[in-house]
Amino acid sequence: MQRFDGLWKSKRTNVIECFDCQRKQEVSGAATSTICPSCSAHIDLSNYKITTSFSRSIRTKGEVYVTTKGDLSSSSVRCQRAIIEGRLRGNLDCAGAIIINTSGKIPGRLSASELIVEKRSEVQFFRRVRVGNIEIRGRMLGEIVANGMVTIRKNGALEGSVVAKAINVEKGGTFSGQIVVGRADLQQAELLPGESSTVSKPTEESLNLAPPLPAT
C-alpha cells in the first residue's frame, strides 16, 4: 500500500462529511487528515494505492486505487472514490464513484453513488449492488438496486435483476433478466429497510414477476 496523489483532479478545497456524526466541513485539497469540529473524530483524507495484497480496513475521505497486481480483501473499505483494476474480495462503500476496470468474481458488498463497469471488464457480483446510478460499458452479471438510472452502453451487457428508477439500454447494448422500474416506493423500502413504515418490503417474487424488458 502506498500513498499517492489521487487520480481525480484534486480541488483546492473539498467538502467532506464526518463518518461518525455526518457533520460537513471544508478541507484543503492537500490535507491528509482532519478532526471533526463536532465530535472530534479523526478523519483520514489520504489516498490509498493498493499494489499487493492488502487486508486491513480503510476508512478515508480520499481515494482507493487497486492496481492490476493489487488484491484488496479488507472486510471494510469506505472511501470517497475507488478505481479497481485488480482483485476486490471484500466490501466497498464509496460516497462517490467506483470504477471497475477488471474481470472476475466480486464476492463482497458494494455501494456507491455511481458505479461504472468499464469496457472489456467482465464481472460477476455475488451480492446485490446498491447504487445511485450505474453505467455498464462491459459485461456484468449480478443484481442491482439503483435509486437512479441504470445505463447499458453500446456493447455493454447486463444479465441479472434490476430495481431502478429508470433503465436505458443503448443500441448495441443488451439486458437479460428481471426488472422493476420507476418504483421509487419499492426502492425506498429496499434501500432503507426499517425507515419506511407504510411501504412493505418487496420480495424476491416481485422481481421475478416483473415483465422482461423489451429488447431494443
Applying CB under 5 A, the residues found at the interface with Zn ion are: 18, 20-21, 23, 36, 38-39, 41
Tell me the backbone φ, ψ of residue 108, rounded to 5 degrees: -85, 180
Q: Closest approach of Cβ 25 to Zn ion, in Å? A: 9
180, 197 Cβ separation under 8 angstroms: no
Q: Which is nearer to Zn ion, 24 or 154 (CB)?
A: 24
- Shortest approach of Zn ion to residue 16 CB, angstroms? 10
Helix/strand/coil percent split, the chain, to 5: 5, 50, 45
Mapped onto helix, strand or coil, the DSSP state of residue 207 is: helix
Given the complex with Zn ion, which of 20 and 26 has the nearer CB atom? 20
Closer to Zn ion at the Cβ: 24 or 120?
Answer: 24
Residue number, 35 or 184, with CB nearest to Zn ion: 35
- Minimum distance between the CB of residue 37 and Zn ion, rounded to whole angstroms? 8
Whole-angstrom distance, CA of residue 59 vs CA of residue 193:
24
Q: Which of 80, 96, 101 is nearest to 88 (CA)?
A: 101
**Shortest gap between Cβ of 24 and Zn ion (angstroms)?**
10
